Amino acid sequence: MSASHMFRRATSSYPTPDVSGPTPLQAWIDVYNTVKASGLIPADIEPTTLENGAPVYADGSGSTTAVCSWTQNGCLAADDIVDAPDGMIGIAFDDGPQPPSSALYTFLAAQSQKATHFMIGSRIIDNSALFQTAVANGDEIASHTWSHPYCTSMTDMQLLGELGWTSQLIFDMTGRLPALFRPPYGDTDNRVRAIARHVFNLTTVIWNHDTDDWSSAVSASELATELTTWIALPKSPGLIMLEHELSNKSVTGFIDAYPQMKSAGWQTRPISSLFGLPFYQNSINDTSATTTEPIADGLISSTQVASTSIQAATSAASFTTSTRPTSTPASTSKTSSDEANSSASHAHVATSAIVGIALGAAALLALLLIMAALYKRRRAGSRSAQRQRLLQDRAGREERDAAFSPTTAASSMREAGYRDSRFDSPAILVQHVG
């Protein structure tokens, strides 16, 4: 069945909305088994249990670097995205599409501002027309799981269902596979990261500022004050704020703050554009052609748009790195010849044409190789710079933590899993809703 026939497909073909940990497809399980056998998915990190609404590790291992729980102690992996480059703000929203999204999408389109939407699969089912509006606007569609659970509390199979069905639905409706994943509540550890990265080739995105726009305890005026304060801060590092499209308050808060971002000189971009990366694994953006190049080093292949499921590749090559392929530019060649009066001149023209085509193909191949090398170098440079920022930020956190006893504000912040690296003193925030 063609993806263009998506809207004739029964909703029951997908898991029931808002049911956590839906059953994954066998194709995803096969890829998972291959990755697991290679040792890339930690076998010694058990799912958490929820106590008073917060994930808890039974053996108390959440604070270790081997587990690297962002919820427990703000631990970051080397390829987590948390800070924007200097002078930039990542424009992104969680939990859509929802009824308040309509005003947000209208505003973004009027400003010619592209954004990243971390969407919940169940909400896409409920609000498919709004979803298509975001796609038509050219915005980046990313994954926020199927049912918005605490990801560390999920078993491996449940995580496969949460991530797989969200990617599947986005693929069925657009022909494109998301490249980014934001765990709800920011709840991730090395097991969750590994499944997202090595099975579905999803990069984990966190944030460095929580606007609290999700909280009913935060008034519209308080939200405006908080956003205004952050926008006026020095532009290093750049901002990736946790914002939502789930209420009129959250949407209005962004709309009111946006002119201040521009007047303050911030560059406002979708998350992938902050680092010069494509929006999708198999396409540069919402309007460019899709590609059937392998994804995640051959583990998962994006299929033609006519397919309705993510297919497992027949073989797995290297598991050490992953790339997002760019679509290969199409090229056409045109040859023409004048009529000749003899068979010899026909042969000459034919030979010239063949030589011309060969030279053109060689030049195109050289150009593609150069483009690939430049893209690889740029991506490596972005990752290297980001990694250095993360290491510096982590060192700053450790230095600050040493100045406080476990009973002070820093201890409270560790328990909340949040750090605000832009203030000299940590800010104490209530548990966020990602």
- Look-up of token digits 């004050």: 225
Q: What is the pLDDT of residue 327?
A: 31
- Look-up of token digits 């053109």: 360
What are the residue numbers of the active site? 94, 244
Q: Enter the pTM of the model.
A: 0.68
Q: Which residues touch 115 (CB under 8 Å, ≥6 apart)?
A: 91, 92, 93, 108, 139, 140, 270
Enumerate the H helices of 175-315 as residue ranges: 190-200, 220-231, 248-263, 271-274
Residue 385 lies in a domain: no
Q: What is the pLDDT of residue 360?
A: 60
The number of distinct structural domains making up the chain is 1
φ/ψ (deg, to 5) at 289: -65, 150
Exposed/middle/buried for 320, CB within 10 Å: 0-12, 13-18, 19+?
Answer: exposed
| Spatial contact of 328 and 187, defined as CB atoms under 8 Å apart | no
- 359-364 long-range contacts (CB < 8 A, ≥24 apart) are 360/333, 364/331
Q: What is the pLDDT of residue 434?
A: 59
CA R_g for the chain: 24
Instruction: Dump the DSSP string for 73-107.
Output: H----TT-B--BPTTEEE-EEEEE--TTHHHHHHH
Q: Which residues touch 263 (CB under 8 Å, ≥6 apart)?
A: none
pLDDT, one tens digit for every residue, the chain (434 residues): 322 222 233 345 899 999 999 999 999 999 999 999 999 999 999 999 999 989 999 988 888 999 999 999 999 999 999 999 999 999 999 999 999 999 999 999 999 999 999 999 999 999 999 999 999 999 999 999 999 999 999 999 999 999 999 999 999 999 999 999 999 999 999 999 999 999 999 999 999 999 999 999 899 999 999 999 999 999 999 999 999 999 999 999 999 999 999 999 999 999 999 999 999 999 999 998 888 643 333 233 333 222 323 333 322 222 222 333 333 323 333 333 333 333 333 344 344 445 455 556 565 665 555 555 554 454 445 444 554 544 444 444 334 333 333 333 333 323 333 333 322 222 222 334 45
Residue 41 lies in a domain: yes
Residue numbers of the domain that contains 64: 3-312
**Cα distance from N-terminal residue to C-terminal residue, the chain:** 35
Residue 209 lies in a domain: yes
CATH assignment of the domain containing 297: 3.20.20.370
Q: From CA 372, how far away is CA 340, in angstroms rounded?
A: 42
Q: What is the pLDDT of residue 61?
A: 80
Instruction: Give the up-direction half-sphere exposure of residue 201: CA atoms within 13 A in the CB hemisphere.
Output: 25
Residue 80 lies in a domain: yes
Residue 388 lies in a domain: no
Buried b (16+ CB within 10 A) or exposed e, 71-88: bbbbbbbeebbbbbbeeb
The closest alpha carbon to 133, from 245, 276, 18, belongs to 245
Length of the chain: 434
| Spatial contact of 84 and 240, defined as CB atoms under 8 Å apart | yes
Q: From CA 213, how far away is CA 207, in angstroms rounded?
A: 14
Strands 180-181 and 49-51: unpaired
Structure tokens at 91: 């424009």
Exposed/middle/buried for 147, CB within 10 Å: 0-12, 13-18, 19+?
Answer: buried
Residue 318 lies in a domain: no
Residue 416 lies in a domain: no
Q: What is the pLDDT of residue 367?
A: 55
Residue 276 lies in a domain: yes
DSSP code of residue 431: P
Q: What is the pLDDT of residue 13?
A: 86
Q: From CA 252, how far away is CA 9, in angstroms rounded?
A: 35
